[in-house]
Amino acid sequence: MKIIKVKNYDEMSRKAANIISAQVLIKPDSVLGLATGGSPLGTYKQLIEWYNKGDIDFSEITSINLDEYVGLPDTHEQSYHYFMHENFFDHVNVKPENIHVPNGVAANMTQACREYEELIKKAGGIDLQLLGIGTDGHIGFNEPDDFFEPLTHVVSLTESTIKANTRFFDSEDDVPRKAITVGIKTIMQAKKVLLIVNGKNKADAVKEAVCGKVTPAVPASILQLHPDCTIIGDEEAFSKL
């Protein structure tokens, strides 16, 4: 596990974008596992800036998103499908047919999960997986549990996750209670993992994930076992290491 400490969010975003752009330059047809939320916004903004300058080309990449809320259509402003188009896809030259986000409104969610796993296998696996981390140590929507859920699955969101995501909705009652997420095994099978984290409110989670025992009670702790994992965090996020 490689740990990179930076001063602030902007520096974190730039370093993360550097790693992603290097991956795409080395392998133009990379399969990128992408994340949503506040943490990667600056990274996407930097990648868009470099794309507009002609420094990076996304035309051959395949994107596979980590998760999606169950029950929100693609057109909903808080769906992750909408988020990714608004904050990244619509500003670069990723081919529409190479964009993949879990189906949160499938009639058969079990089948949707199985099909998403097959899609990842057919793509050849994930070359680089971008992750954030929740205040409870979750990655994707893999919440603290008694065991690591290996494959793509539907999960009931914890109270802390619901409260954390309330800022994106009109009220807490509007936050979906379930999500579909790529599982821990699938994340761990990515060739590279890049975790980005900022803010004092993530310091406890980072400490447990990096220094604590590997446990499904802190899902991010499994990354200690990944052969090529880089964590980039600001001073506040790393304040308890």
Residue range(s) defining the domain that contains residue 217: 2-234
Nearest residue to 123 via CA among 112, 111, 135, 115: 115
CB 109 within 8 A of CB 178: no
67 included as an active-site residue: yes
pLDDT, tens only, 14-48 = 999 999 999 999 999 999 999 999 999 999 999 99
Number of domains in the chain: 1
| Residue 165 in domain | yes
pLDDT at 134 exceeding the cut of 90: yes
Q: Which of 67, 68, 234, 236 is catalytic?
A: 67
| Residue 239 in domain | no
| Residue 65 in domain | yes
CB 62 within 8 A of CB 29: yes
| Residue 208 in domain | yes
Beta bridge partners of 137: none
Q: Which of 127, 136, 149, 234 is catalytic?
A: 136
| Residue 74 in domain | yes
pLDDT, tens only, 160-182 = 888 888 888 888 888 899 999 99
Tell me the CATH number at 35: 3.40.50.1360
The band of 144, judged by pLDDT with boundaries at 50, 70 and 90, is very high
The band of 85, judged by pLDDT with boundaries at 50, 70 and 90, is very high
Q: Which of 81, 100, 138, 153 is catalytic?
A: 138
143 included as an active-site residue: yes
| Residue 241 in domain | no
**pTM for this one?**
0.94
DSSP string, 167-215: GGSSSGGGS-SEEEE--HHHHHTSSEEEEEE-SGGGHHHHHHHHHS--B
Q: Which of 143, 208, 234, 236 is catalytic?
A: 143
Question: What pLDDT is stored for residue 159 in this prediction?
Answer: 87
153 included as an active-site residue: no
| Residue 125 in domain | yes
| Residue 240 in domain | no
Question: What pLDDT is stored for residue 157 in this prediction?
Answer: 86
115 included as an active-site residue: no
pLDDT at 234 exceeding the cut of 90: yes
> Is the dihedral angle over the CA atoms 28, 64, 193, 176 positive or is it negative?
positive
pLDDT at 212 exceeding the cut of 90: yes
